[in-house]
């Protein structure tokens, strides 16, 4: 454990050279990690998909993360975990015969959401989903997501929503939900989306507040005609979307189903 400015990684780390690694972002509320078990299962899934062995880290990580919280006197924060295939010399694409994986765990300050994001909702743009066929692996190889998010920023939007084969998959760093005549819909889990921990929590919450949910993809046109839409992620929680491209969603205000789910989500997260 070292101060952030003293933490160093070799320039030959494959995470740096190839984006050859996986990661997690886990949020702590009041000193407690939200859905830590789900994040650990997803890290295991990502590591397996990348053919990285987690080994003892799988057991040690929760305690390590808790120590970081305590030593930094943090209650509400995000925790970043990155696990790469480590340092290999010389650079070569195939796995090195011997590599010692690099584990990085660091607290990340919670960025405040843009002014009015929760009360007024955010704008999103749509973009073709140019990513690979294993979006279920939470890989550090994020160039398509970064390019999409930057395009959103440059067009004054909060998020870029990906469309693959005519269907809305997810946002560049969030999952996407829409409400059609009271029925909640989101893309099914599988290789075309990241299985969001927040998404899964919202899926479970829907039934507890009596909202019917379909894990079924919708088209961009359907999204634009939805009564409500929102995005989910560890960092954004449940955030209303009130505009996609130049189209207003519903009445252009956060909808009742979104607000109920947001409240229910914050209730369990903060509770
Ligand atoms: N992003 N989809 C993508 C592509 C993501 O990168 C994320 C998370 C999500 C939402 O997953 P979760 O609810 O588990 O946070 C969906 C994190 C926060 C990030 O890269 O910073």
List pLDDT tens digits, range 145-165. Answer: 999 999 999 999 999 999 999
Atom of ligand 1 nearest to the CA of 175: 16
pTM metric for this prediction: 0.98
Mutation test residue for ligand 1: of 124, 175, 269, the one with most atoms within 8 Å of CB: 175
- How far apart are alpha carbons 25 and 39 in whole angstroms? 8
Predicted confidence (pLDDT) at residue 118 exceeds the cutoff of 90:
yes
pLDDT, tens digit (0-9, with 9 covering 90-100), for 215-225: 999 999 999 99
Q: Whose CA is nearest to atom 9 of ligand 1?
A: 174
Rounded mean pLDDT, 60-77: 97
CA of 98 to the centre of ligand 1 (A): 31
Q: Whose CA is nearest to atom 1 of ligand 1?
A: 173
Per the document, the length of the chain is 271
Rounded mean pLDDT, 40-63: 97
Q: For ligand 1, is residue 199 a contact (CB within 6 Å)?
A: yes
Predicted confidence (pLDDT) at residue 99 exceeds the cutoff of 90:
no
Q: How confident is the model at residue 271 (pLDDT cuts 50, 70, 90)?
A: confident
Predicted confidence (pLDDT) at residue 259 exceeds the cutoff of 90:
yes
Neighbouring residues of 111: CB distance < 8 A, sequence distance ≥ 6: 235
**Contact of 82 with 23, CB cutoff 8 Å:** yes
Residue 149 among the catalytic residues: no
Q: Whose CA is nearest to atom 4 of ligand 1?
A: 173
Atom of ligand 1 nearest to the CA of 172: 4
Q: How confident is the model at residue 236 (pLDDT cuts 50, 70, 90)?
A: very high
90: preceding bond cis by omega (within 30 degrees): yes
């Amino acid at each position: 454990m070292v101060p952030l400015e003293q933490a160093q990684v070799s320039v030959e780390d494959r995470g740096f050279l190839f984006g050859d690694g996986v990661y997690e972002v886990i949020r702590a509320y009041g000193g407690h990690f939200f859905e830590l078990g789900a994040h650990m299962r997803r890290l295991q899934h990502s590591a397996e998909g990348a053919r990285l062995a987690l080994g003892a880290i799988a057991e040690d990580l929760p305690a390590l993360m808790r120590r970081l919280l305590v030593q930094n006197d943090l209650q509400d924060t995000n925790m970043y975990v990155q696990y790469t295939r480590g340092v290999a010399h010389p650079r070569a694409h195939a796995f090195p015969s011997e590599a010692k994986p690099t584990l990085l765990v660091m607290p990340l300050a919670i960025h405040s959401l843009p002014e009015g994001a929760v009360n007024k909702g955010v704008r999103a743009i749509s973009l073709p989903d140019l990513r690979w066929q294993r979006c279920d692996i939470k890989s550090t190889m994020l160039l398509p997501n970064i390019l999409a998010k930057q395009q959103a920023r440059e067009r004054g939007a909060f998020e870029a929503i990906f469309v693959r084969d005519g269907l809305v998959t997810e946002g560049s760093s969030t999952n996407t939900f829409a409400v059609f005549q009271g029925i909640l819909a989101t893309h099914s889990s599988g290789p075309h989306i990241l299985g969001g921990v927040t998404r899964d929590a919202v899926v479970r919450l829907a039934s507890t507040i009596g909202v019917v949910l379909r894990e079924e993809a919708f088209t961009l046109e359907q999204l634009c005609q939805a009564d409500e839409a929102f995005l989910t992620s560890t960092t954004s929680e449940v955030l209303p979307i009130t505009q996609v491209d130049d189209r207003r969603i519903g009445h252009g205000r956060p909808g009742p189903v979104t607000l109920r789910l947001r409240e229910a989500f914050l209730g369990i997260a903060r509770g």
